[in-house]
């Protein structure tokens, strides 16, 4: 009777050792499901090049939309104050990269009419909008708009100067890999055939 529990304990120890060995082996064994080893993964050169081209097209689309918006506001002179990249998240939750463009005019605007005409224009393009005012700053009206999976834009109408901040569509991909392809000179890499947009 005393030998049976010992035999069970020995069997349990052996099974536990085999189980741990199986876990250790599986942890060291590469699988074909590793996304970094599959063609078409974020690190795949052809995929990264395609993502960079998609990002450049998103910037071109954003500039065109910005110009349309400025024309709707009126004949004021606008100056781009900066174009930069940023990390973003796509509508389906993937990490990616987009462009952000800042544009400003120092010319006087009729604040409420300008906001209303931009609001109507953006809504005609499928955006959802909301307007904010500040009782402590009656010379300031902010209009925000977003489009699922696409642009995020805002218009600030101010008696001290008005501005547009516009985010391009988010392009899914590995941020570091995209930046290396987009700005090889920053990483000390030879420049490719595609020109890098300015981030200034």
Mean pLDDT of 2-22: 44
181-198 confidence digits (pLDDT tens) = 999 988 777 665 444 454
Stronger pLDDT, 37 or 105, i.e. the higher one = 105
Q: Rounded to an integer, what distance in angstroms lies between the CA atom of residue 62 and that of residue 151?
A: 8
Identify the CA nearest to 155 among candidates 111, 200, 192. Answer: 111
pLDDT(39) > 70: no
Position 186 scores a pLDDT of 83
Q: Rounded to an integer, what distance in angstroms lies between the CA atom of residue 198 and that of residue 183?
A: 9
Identify the CA nearest to 124 among candidates 55, 60, 61, 72. Answer: 72
Average pLDDT taken over every residue of the chain: 78
Position 138 scores a pLDDT of 86
CA 142 from chain centre, in angstroms, equals 22
Position 41 scores a pLDDT of 55
Please say whether the beta carbons of 83 and 198 come within 8 A.
Answer: yes
Report the SS3 class of residue 190: coil
Please say whether the beta carbons of 103 and 113 come within 8 A.
Answer: no
Please say whether the beta carbons of 110 and 141 come within 8 A.
Answer: no
pLDDT(32) > 50: no
Report the SS3 class of residue 102: strand
- Six-digit token string for 40: 């078409």
Lowest mean pLDDT among 9-13, 77-81, 128-132, 166-170: 9-13
Please say whether the beta carbons of 157 and 140 come within 8 A.
Answer: yes
Res. 9 pLDDT band, cuts 50 70 90: very low
- Six-digit token string for 14: 């052996």
66-114 confidence digits (pLDDT tens) = 999 999 999 999 999 989 999 998 888 899 999 999 999 999 999 999 9
Instruction: Count the neighbouring beta carbons within 10 Å of the beta carbon of residue 100.
Output: 18
Q: Rounded to an integer, what distance in angstroms lies between the CA atom of residue 86 and that of residue 49?
A: 18
143-162 confidence digits (pLDDT tens) = 999 865 566 899 999 999 99
Mean pLDDT of 129-145: 92
Strands 162-167 vs 171-172: parallel, antiparallel or unpaired = unpaired
pLDDT(165) > 70: yes
Return the DSSP state at 59.
H
- pTM of the predicted model, to two decimals? 0.70
């Amino acid at each position: 009777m005393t030998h049976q529990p010992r035999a069970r304990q020995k069997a349990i120890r052996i099974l536990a050792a085999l189980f741990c060995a199986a876990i250790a082996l599986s942890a060291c064994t590469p699988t074909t499901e590793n996304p970094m080893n599959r063609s078409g993964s974020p690190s795949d050169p052809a995929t990264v090049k395609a993502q960079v081209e998609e990002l450049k097209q998103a910037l071109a689309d954003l500039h065109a939309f910005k110009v349309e918006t400025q024309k709707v506001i009126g004949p004021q002179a606008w100056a781009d104050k900066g174009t930069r990249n940023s990390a973003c998240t796509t509508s389906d939750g993937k990490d990616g990269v987009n462009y952000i463009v800042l544009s400003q005019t120092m010319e006087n605007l009729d604040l409420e009419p300008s906001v209303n005409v931009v609001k109507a224009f953006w809504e005609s393009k499928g955006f959802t909008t909301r307007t904010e005012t500040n009782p402590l700053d009656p010379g300031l009206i902010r209009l925000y708009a977003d489009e699922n999976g696409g642009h995020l834009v805002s218009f600030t109408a101010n008696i001290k100067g008005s501005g547009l901040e516009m985010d391009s569509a988010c392009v899914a991909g590995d941020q570091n890999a995209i930046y290396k392809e987009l700005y090889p000179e920053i990483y000390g890499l030879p420049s490719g055939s595609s020109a890098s947009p300015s981030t200034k």
